[in-house]
Structure 1
């Protein structure tokens, strides 16, 4: 296995070097690292709310009603993950500007302004107790500002910063004030015309998009990803494609589960509802691929089946930084919350770990699909919280089929075996980097 790890390290080292030296990818990576503390705090409160306080599925929820205290975690979620896209827009822009030896504050603020400028000005809501959709202006949905909007936020940060900085370098666009004016005031005014032109450009782009397509730029980006996936959601081939792109997005720092959730979840939730109805009617269970099926067999530990990575790091990693982060990420990982691990190691933009991150869920998904289609395990007939721990989730989703729990254990073992040579490769790459330094 060491020979395999050495070959992987030798093959991926040039790729890793290019990744680490690429300015924009570095800004994305460092931007995500900056918000790690907020992501970790939010992850723990998600864990508390769903595993302990939830009245239906929580450990204490069955004993005493503590649901009112979930509001604390909800408020923290609003201030962290709920505005993650806004925070990421600023931090990525800041890091990108610094890489150009520029002060990052003004470009960061500008990038946030660009992001907000391009968001839809009208939000559709369905009031409680009503079946009619109402259009509301002057508000932003968390579908736009949370992790769901990360792809658009990253594009806004990179494009907005590049345009602003290029305009800012034009001397003819600078407003010069007397030397008696405080330096900070002078910096702000020197950015006035570039800011005006940048915001005008992106606002005009949104305006033209609305005229040509009938919807905004953010929706255009969503549709560009969504259109090819809508045709294949329910098929075995389709779910493999979705899992590939979902974890590919994860590997470059985009929350693939949230981004593709609006595309795949409606179909997957409908499938589990059909299974539940069939079970109640005493009919044959129709669907293999459902949301609990994906959660129980392809996303143990979170996106990328990272429960296997956690175990592999404890077995084979010689890197103290990996082991320390993994110790901290283990408890959330047991409840399928892997943001601390993804952003802490980091796994994102890590070309070594990206390969198993993409492959492991697909391999395990197909094993579980084959086992279910052959009748070796029962089909999923219960909708369970995504935070249900591995193995237990498979047992509950299949209405207590011990074979499903055993299959989940087998898949974890397979994932560890696949992750191990790549973890060993990170050991080797760390040694190479030390020698170079």
Structure 2
């Protein structure tokens, strides 16, 4: 075991550290994190307007509330790529050391993203197709345009920083207000970006793809979505995340940008389909990370904390379990990870990896069999309580599976926790004997 640990520490940890410090991945992660408000608002409105209960839907239709609830998703869920283009552009500019210019570059990223949008929409009315050439369709503003938004949000700041750092700017006199001065300093980068992306748009229009979004979707996004649809990909992320936690590295921070890149678009597509009352196209989305695999935090530790809180005999672990229970219930398990500890603990690392894999694969199999519904695409923010998260993302069936999953977690963790608890109890008995001079029966629980 020690040889395996030493080998992983020499090879995996340096790579993980570099990934965690990578500016591009940090920018992507921060950009998506900043969009959570928009994502959650759109998801909640979609849920409120989509509960498939005939009496409820009749009430929404008769009162006009259904129409009111339909407005917000159109400019949140259906236009998420617009927000992502700005937020990633802004975040990456900050990572490049130009924090004061971040908002300007975010706007230029959004400008470049919209510049690449094909104009024109058509609709079949009766036997006639009506075309509006000056309209901007929603197709590439939502899930299908996410990769374009990410790429442009990363390229524009590089161009902007290249020009600004070489001081190729229009300088205003000292008396000009700072905001006006910064606006003028962004003019030259803005013109360069406008010309460059206009040229790109023109030349792509001459190809069979027609526009940049179709090119990126066909060449990059669709293959990556297919990669994410494999359960082996999801399992690989679980293993990497939890092995990194064993070495004290925040595994979630390392893998989350990759999860967002792979699973943000499928989640949005599920949410749109759910709102439209259509079959959900994807069985694996990012919400499964929290709802199924890592229920209670990395390692799927809610069952573990229940064992410690209510079944441990040692005072140390009983106290730790009761202290950590409220935070683990909402997916924050650092008190447990560093208090047990999970870090560099060879006894607990095996269930720490096996538990989330088992939970995920079981949920995936039940979804394929039609026993569990595909998750509806609602994004679960950190702090969402267990059970409630299941109800939000899949209704009563997913909520009930989470309860079953707690027992699965307990069953896997129990024999390993029993070893740790017995060791801790023996140490406490020995310490008590030294302090009091009287031996204490180790089989008797220590009050805690």
Tell me how far apart the structure 2 counterparts of residues 256 and 187 of structure 1 sit (CA, whole Å): 37
1:315 corresponds to 2:303: yes
Deviation at 1:224, TM superposition (A): 0.9
> Aligned pair in 2 of structure 1 residues 100, 211: CA closer, same or farther (>3 Å)?
same
Tell me the residue number matched to 2:261.
Answer: 254
Tell me the residue number matched to 1:25.
Answer: 25
Tell me how far apart the structure 2 counterparts of residues 170 and 383 of structure 1 sit (CA, whole Å): 51
Q: Which runs of 5+ in 2 are unaligned?
A: 239-254, 306-319, 333-352, 379-389, 415-448
Tell me the residue number matched to 2:177.
Answer: 182
Q: TM-score w.r.t. structure 1 length?
A: 0.59
1:221 corresponds to 2:216: yes
Deviation at 1:32, TM superposition (A): 1.8
Q: 2:81 aligns with which of 79, 85, 88?
A: 85
SS in structure 2 at match of 1:73: helix
> Aligned pair in 2 of structure 1 residues 87, 323: CA closer, same or farther (>3 Å)?
farther
Tell me how far apart the structure 1 counterparts of residues 88 and 105 of structure 2 sit (CA, whole Å): 10
Q: TM-score w.r.t. structure 2 length?
A: 0.57
Residues 344-363 of structure 1: pairs in structure 2 closer than 5 A? 363=361
Q: 2:105 aligns with which of 101, 104, 107?
A: 107
Q: CA RMSD in A?
A: 5.2
1:146 corresponds to 2:146: no
Tell me the residue number matched to 1:57.
Answer: 53
1:126 corresponds to 2:112: no
Tell me the residue number matched to 1:197.
Answer: 192
Aligned length: 337
Deviation at 1:195, TM superposition (A): 1.0
Tell me how far apart the structure 2 counterparts of residues 132 and 7 of structure 1 sit (CA, whole Å): 68
Deviation at 1:186, TM superposition (A): 2.2
Deviation at 1:144, TM superposition (A): 1.7
> Aligned pair in 2 of structure 1 residues 328, 132: CA closer, same or farther (>3 Å)?
farther
Tell me how far apart the structure 1 counterparts of residues 302 and 175 of structure 2 sit (CA, whole Å): 60
Tell me the residue number matched to 2:70.
Answer: 74
> Aligned pair in 2 of structure 1 residues 383, 322: CA closer, same or farther (>3 Å)?
closer
Is the CA contact 2:169–2:185 (under 8 Å) kept in the aligned structure 1?
yes
Tell me how far apart the structure 1 counterparts of residues 304 and 160 of structure 2 sit (CA, whole Å): 46
1:45 corresponds to 2:45: yes
Deviation at 1:94, TM superposition (A): 1.3
Is the CA contact 1:89–1:108 (under 8 Å) kept in the aligned structure 2?
yes
1:306 corresponds to 2:313: no
